[in-house]
């Protein structure tokens, strides 16, 4: 019991709870499979051969470890803290998503599942899943909101090239949460041969813990990489990451939860501003606890408990919930959560291009925007590590539109 009170890293409990958050809120049809998955994951987690296979793929297929890069011009420009970027945008498929997908697909293979389903918003998790399915010759079906299919056409084409079937979701309002609903409906129908590869630290237990464990490679690398560059035992003073569902953030944060000197900041998508009109996706700063997609967590919802649509310039943050472990870290105060608006993220996006020659995705641009706010007021020996969780190629069309640049005519 003592451990539970002294450690932030021992969760979830045997019921899949982080404090009151998490759990297994799924229909009975799925429950036996969820329990089987939990047992299989426990086995795999303690099997060195599972991690040996992961390490091999991470190294040779994904390109890990991703560099921990000191950003000299950003640091100088902001004139305060020393800024490091964890370059997960250099992974194969251009984002952190593949870290987790590899783990889940290896697990699916162990369980004898032959058909993989996934949901995707911006398309990054869908592309990562289609990629790994192609690598292992598995059938792949990706559910994607009809609206996202339209605005993310290049990723739809990528998934099809990789052999996946992309199903445009028109149920509900045709967004990421509806894509997740349809994936769950598929799963409940094809439960015997299908594995649901969830893209973030949400869903029923064991998904939040399992996805976190697969993404924690990010934070573990940061620990030794920073020690290499700054001296043995040197920890970051602040770690910071963007949050939609929260998988890249959980991956960076988790290895530092029990280091009290490390300040932990999650950045939510503030859209047009966190207000009562809900034109944002900031579940923690602008929502309250509820139950959706298999877990209890903070949600955007109305007075009747109906789920609201989020709003963000970044399709990857456009989700009305957040991983349950974040909800718990928020309530315990171990991590801070802030919101950044579309306009602030766009400014950070441009600054990163100009100062470091890195075109970031809109998701980490939110994290960078918060770095821009805090770095100038911190001393030069304060080290910030920010997760550059995705590259911006997918977002140049959106950004062009907001900056008034016609990408077809070049004017």
Partner 1 sequence: MTRIDSKFAALKAEGKKAFVAYVMAGDPDYETSMEIVKGLPGAGVDIIELGIPFTDPMADGPTIQLAGQRALEAGQTLERTLQMVREFRTGDDETPIVLMGYYNPIFNRGVERFLTDARQAGVDGLIVVDLPPEEDDELCIPAQKAGINFIRLATPTTDDARLPKVLTNTSGFVYYVSITGITGAADAQAADVGPEVARIKAHTELPVVVGFGIKTPEAAQAIAGVADGAVVGSAIVGLIGEGKSPAEVLAFVRSLSDGAHRA
Which residues are near partner 1 by CB under 8 A?
15, 23-33, 171-172, 177-178, 180-181, 184-185, 188-192, 289-294, 296, 299, 301, 303-307
Residue 18 Cβ, how far from partner 1 at the closest point, in Å?
15
When the beta carbons of 83 and 117 are compared against partner 1, the nearer one is 117
When the beta carbons of 205 and 212 are compared against partner 1, the nearer one is 205
**Are residues 249 and 316 in contact, defined by beta-carbon separation less than 8 angstroms?**
no
When the beta carbons of 92 and 205 are compared against partner 1, the nearer one is 205
Residue 26 Cβ, how far from partner 1 at the closest point, in Å?
6
Residue 291 Cβ, how far from partner 1 at the closest point, in Å?
5
Please report which helix (H) or strand (E) contains residue 115, including its range.
Answer: strand 115-120
Distance of alpha carbon 125 from alpha carbon 106, whole angstroms:
16
Residue 191 Cβ, how far from partner 1 at the closest point, in Å?
5
| Residue 199 burial class via C-beta count within 10 angstroms: exposed 0-12, middle 13-18, buried 19 and up | buried
Burial per residue of 209-248, b for 16 or more beta-carbon CB atoms within 10 angstroms, e otherwise:
bbbbbbbbbbbebbbebbeeebeeeebbbbbbbbbbbbbb
When the beta carbons of 299 and 339 are compared against partner 1, the nearer one is 299
DSSP state letter for 47: -
When the beta carbons of 2 and 15 are compared against partner 1, the nearer one is 15
Residue 330 Cβ, how far from partner 1 at the closest point, in Å?
18
DSSP for 250-313 reads: HHHHGGGTT-TTSEEEEEEEEET-SSTT--S--HHHH-EEEEETEEEEEE-B-TTSPBPPP--S
When the beta carbons of 42 and 393 are compared against partner 1, the nearer one is 42
* SS3 state at 7: coil
Residue 317 Cβ, how far from partner 1 at the closest point, in Å?
19
């Amino acid at each position: 019991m003592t451990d539970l009170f002294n450690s932030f890293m021992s969760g979830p409990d045997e019921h899949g709870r982080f404090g009151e958050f998490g759990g297994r809120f799924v229909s009975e049809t799925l429950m036996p499979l969820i329990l089987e998955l939990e047992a299989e994951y426990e086995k795999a987690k303690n099997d060195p051969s599972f991690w040996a296979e992961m390490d091999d793929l991470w190294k040779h297929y994904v390109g890990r470890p991703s560099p921990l890069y000191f950003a000299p011009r950003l640091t100088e420009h902001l004139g305060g803290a020393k800024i490091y970027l964890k370059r997960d945008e250099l992974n194969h498929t251009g984002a952190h998503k593949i870290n987790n997908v590899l783990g889940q697909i290896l697990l699916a293979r162990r369980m004898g599942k032959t058909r993989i389903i996934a949901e995707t918003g911006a398309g990054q998790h869908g592309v990562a899943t289609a990629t790994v399915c192609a690598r292992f010759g598995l059938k792949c079906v990706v559910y994607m909101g009809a609206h996202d299919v339209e605005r993310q056409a290049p990723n739809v084409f990528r998934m099809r090239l990789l052999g996946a079937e992309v199903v445009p979701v028109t149920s509900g309002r045709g967004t990421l949460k509806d894509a997740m609903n349809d994936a769950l409906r598929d799963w409940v129908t094809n439960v015997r041969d299908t594995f649901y590869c969830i893209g973030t630290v949400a869903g029923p237990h064991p998904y939040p813990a399992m996805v976190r464990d697969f993404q924690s490679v990010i934070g573990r690398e940061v620990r030794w990489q920073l020690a290499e560059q700054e001296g043995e035992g040197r920890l970051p003073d602040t770690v910071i990451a963007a949050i939609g569902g929260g998988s890249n953030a959980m991956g960076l944060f988790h290895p530092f939860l029990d280091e009290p000197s490390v300040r932990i900041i999650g950045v939510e998508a503030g859209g047009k501003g966190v207000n009562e009109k809900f034109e944002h996706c900031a579940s923690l700063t602008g929502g309250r606890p509820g139950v959706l997609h298999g877990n209890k967590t903070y949600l955007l919802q109305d007075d009747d408990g109906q789920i609201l649509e989020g709003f963000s310039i970044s399709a990857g943050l456009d989700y009305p919930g957040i991983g349950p472990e974040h909800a718990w870290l928020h309530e315990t105060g171990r991590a801070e959560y802030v919101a950044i608006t579309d306009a602030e993220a766009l400014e950070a996006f441009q600054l990163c291009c100009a100062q470091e020659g890195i075109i970031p995705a809109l998701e980490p641009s939110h994290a960078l925007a918060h770095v821009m706010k805090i770095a100038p007021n911190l001393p030069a020996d304060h080290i910030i590590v920010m997760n550059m969780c995705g590259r911006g190629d997918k977002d140049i069309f959106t950004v062009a539109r907001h900056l008034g640049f016609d990408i077809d005519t070049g004017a």
